[in-house]
Structure 1
Amino acid sequence: MNIKSVEDYFPGMDIIDSDIEERIETIYNEVKNTEVDKASISASLQAESISYQDFYNILKIDPNEYLEIMAEKAYDKRIRYFGNNVSLFSPIYIANYCENSCKYCGFRAQSDIKRAKLTYEEIEAEMNALAATGIEDVLILTGESEKFSSIEYIAKSCEIAKKYFRVVGIEIYPTNIDDYKKLRQAGADFVTVFQESYNKKYYDFYHPAGHKRSFSYRINTQERALMGGMRGVGFGTLFGLGDPIEEAFKLGVHASLIQKKYPQAEIAISLPRIRPTHGADETLIFENI
């Protein structure tokens, strides 16, 4: 099937009744043209419970001027809600096959990297060795290829992981509600998905082919995962693909709307590492988008 637009769905993709995507865009449009001055920033920093406008104002802050104030507020919030606790988890890739063509990614289908997929025996050995270090939480990752990393394969991996770890997270290709139910029954607790870019213009440019091309299907992933019974969901975006203020704001709004709609869910935000990669599109020119 020829998918011509980021709005399109591929055959077999769940289409759920959700207005989250539209609400993210509406809220952003309501705040993006407001004038942010020192008075509004000061008021937002002093607010006990911040609004979406406050959140946008804070993102517009000059870090050279407000860094210390932000650091103090962040410390106070962390102590209030989390104390001095630090939770460690370890990622483990069980496969790196991918069927998408994301221009920035070294895993893209056109990359000449060496591909690999662990056997169940190898997964067991890796989980055993990792658990022996004292790590209690694990994140299972694959490339985005259902052909090489089927739901059954990932589910069996979760079953193995659950024998060794308190919490099992997965960062795989977006899938349907019934698939998340299977993964939950197999031991998965958490689903993390990076939207990559919340701007459809940039998303369209960076994702020319593959199931990932469907912006709407991807942005509703966290909701489908929760509908499938997952305990929690994670969000992320790749800063550098588009305007970082827009990306950060929409990321926060997305997580907030899901938290309000599913108050029982645990929510996490992931930040990408900025590292060189082999196999990305070297002709990528940001200014030409």
Structure 2
Amino acid sequence: MEHVDRDQLAAVLRAARSRITPADVGLPAGPRRQVPGLRREEVAQLAGLGIDYVIRLEQGRGPRPSPQVLNALARALRLSDDDRSTLFRLAGSAPPQAATVPMRVHWATRRLLDRIGELPALVLSAKSDVLAWNALAAALFGDFSALPPARRNLIRQRFLGTGIGRVTVLPDPHADAAADCVGSLRTTQARYPDDPELARLVAELRAGSEPFDRLWRAGRSGRRRSAATTVVHPELGSLTLDCDVLLVPEADQSLLVYSAGPGTPEASALELLRVTGLRHLSVA
């Protein structure tokens, strides 16, 4: 990224400054305050910058700020992650990325997962690790907590055939689905190039699966999409379920919800699973 939109950058900085009160950042308000929010000299003080430099940026005539300056301004102005990304893009810089794939599931997502009680549901990381699941998902797939963490990865299961819990998840036969699967991992690697666990997963997949390696070398990016998924359950047999992907953008995670159309054998199987599977889990 090279282009600097100085006018919009100046507008964003001025607007952010007006939203912050001295009390928000531990500064005394003082008498005769004539502007809403912080003064320019207060922003400069908080960011460790010169007042003249801040003035030039707010007037749309300053030099291109470095990432270090942008981070200092974002901290001083208490910018959200989204606002910080906007600030970087307006300044012609790539927004900073987290060093590793987020693996912690927010409590609100866990609450939503528990509320989806009538359907199996999973929370996936950006690299397709199963991070959390509800009771019906455990009844369908088995106890994920009994598996080593590396075995809980859906892309690993797809290409290395390790299975998930007590069932086998069959790959979608369509070539585009496989390419999207690999492409989603490439997209994740571009966001988290320094994540060692992600690098280890890609290396393992490339070494162990020729189809994965071929698709990886094609260099195509992608994302996980909603699609039909076939699972082979030890008691219920083969079930083809709709798998809807709901995004949790703040955590860079996704919520997978499995369902079946009313009146289908799969819908009857899920209803049976709600009775016998959950009872089995409560006894185990």
* TM-score, reference length from structure 2: 0.25
Higher RCO structure (Cα 8 Å, ≥6 apart): 1
Q: Larger helix proportion, structure 1 or 2?
A: 2
